[in-house]
Amino acid sequence: MDVKTACLGVLAFADASGYEIRKAFEEGAFAHFAEGAFGSIYPALKQLERDDNIAATSPDPQDRPGKKVFRITSKGRLTLLAALAQPPAPDRFKSDFLFNLLFAEFLPAGRVETLVDDRIAHYRALVDGMEQCRCRPDGSIITGGHAFVHGFGLAVYRAAAAYLEDHKHEVVGASLQASQNAAD
């Protein structure tokens, strides 16, 4: 999904400033499946505005000069729907954690064990946080697509934590075996 389409997606739910859109990519629901860095969001918003896919207003120029709040236009909704009608690209998964474990045989076993234990704790914390977050900011319970994506995220993090717990001994063992072979 390109950044312009992702921005339209954020604005399809609510009007937002550029800062709020960026926060949706960094910390909000979009953080898990869309990328939008500071350097790409604002050019995308300018292009969307030029193409009449969004409109900007300045809430109170006295209070915050230059601040704009963006809203999706009818044309923008049609643009978003056209993008959603396209087949999605394959999922991409990038992980510094897995990159490190790819080289488990070169790392001390204690380091490998710490990496895995820390990642299990990270996934468990994500699951705990997501289990507490079943409501929208207005207090209503998430339903439909939101509930489906939320449930999928929970399933992925639970499965990842369970896999690491069940198979940690294998990667730690690979590290130990490599250091034993090097000692021989």
The boundaries of the domain holding residue 163 are 96-183
Residue 155: the pLDDT is 95
Provide the 10 A C-beta neighbour count for residue 52: 12
Adjacent-strand bridge partners of 56: 70
Domain boundary among the residues 54, 84, 114 is at: 84
Q: Are 39 and 80 in contact (CB under 8 A)?
A: no
Report which listed range, 19-33, 84-98, 160-174, is most confident: 160-174
Does residue 38 sit in the same domain as residue 10?
A: yes
53-79 pLDDT, tens digit each: 999 998 766 666 668 999 999 999 999
70-125 pLDDT, tens digit each: 999 999 999 999 999 999 989 888 899 999 999 999 999 999 999 999 999 999 99
What confidence tier does 154 reach under pLDDT thresholds 50, 70, 90?
very high
In 53-71, which positions are buried (b, 16+ CB within 10 angstroms) versus exposed (e)? bbbbeeeeeeeeeeebbbe
Residue 76: the pLDDT is 97
126-149 pLDDT, tens digit each: 999 888 877 666 667 777 888 898
Is 89 within a domain?
A: no
Residue 108: the pLDDT is 95
Helix axes 18-26 and 38-50, enclosed angle (nearest 10): 130
**What average pLDDT does this structure show over 154-174?**
96
Domain boundary among the residues 35, 52, 84 is at: 84
Residue 139: the pLDDT is 66
Residue 56: the pLDDT is 94
Q: How far apart are alpha carbons 134 and 143 in whole angstroms?
A: 9
Is 146 within a domain?
A: yes
145 to 28, 55, 80, 122, 148: CA distances (angstroms) = 16, 26, 16, 25, 5
Helix (H, G, I), strand (E, B) or coil at 57: strand
Does residue 49 sit in the same domain as residue 126?
A: no
pTM: 0.78
